[in-house]
Amino acid sequence: MKKNKISEGSRFKEVLSILIKHDLIKGLDPYKLRAIIEDLGPTFIKFGQIMSLRSDMIPADFCAELKKLQTEVKPMKYDQVTEVIESSLGRSMGDLFSYFEGKPLGSASIAQVHKAKLHSGEWVVVKVQRQGVRHTMERDIKLLKKSYRCFEDSAWC
């Protein structure tokens, strides 16, 4: 249990540092909101993707900017992509593909996709999950649940 509290506390500090980095106190425009959400990671990117569909509730300029979170999230670096693929499949990139496009076709909250060619000559699309996405989302969900309980009880924790 103590480990979870440390994890939640460190994630809370990460969230606060991102909000401070983007000078949230000076206001919010569509570009700043998208940048904040991207920096907060996969859980918040998912929320941003959902928000982008709610033009009935959110101004059009915000929705348009948030729609970029569906396919235009900052991509992982190529060395991270290579590490994920090789550790997941237990083989080197050269053993797996005769060609692998370093620039992703699309990048979103949980994964990104790359064009590749198998040694058989067949072209494929490879979906690569972001490193640590499950752990980050678990911490975020715990933090959000705790925040909700605090507001529900009208107490600051």
pLDDT digits (tens, 9 = 90+) for 57-79: 999 999 999 999 988 888 999 99
DSSP state of 118: E
Torsion-angle region of 70 (φ positive above 0: left; ψ -120 to 50: alpha; else: beta): alpha
Residue 155, pLDDT > 70, answer no
pTM for this model (two decimals): 0.76
The total of other beta-carbon atoms located within 10 Å of residue 66's CB is 23
Instruction: Give which of 150, 153, 145 is closest to 4, Cα–Cα.
Output: 145
Residue 13, pLDDT > 50, answer yes
Is the torsion defined by CA of 96, 100, 103, 105 positive or negative? negative
Torsion angle, alpha carbons of 25, 30, 34, 35, to 10: -50
Q: Residue 116 in contact with residue 101, Cβ under 8 Å?
A: yes
Q: What is the mean pLDDT of residues 17-27?
A: 93
The total of other beta-carbon atoms located within 10 Å of residue 114's CB is 22
Confidence of residue 156 (pLDDT cuts 50, 70, 90): low
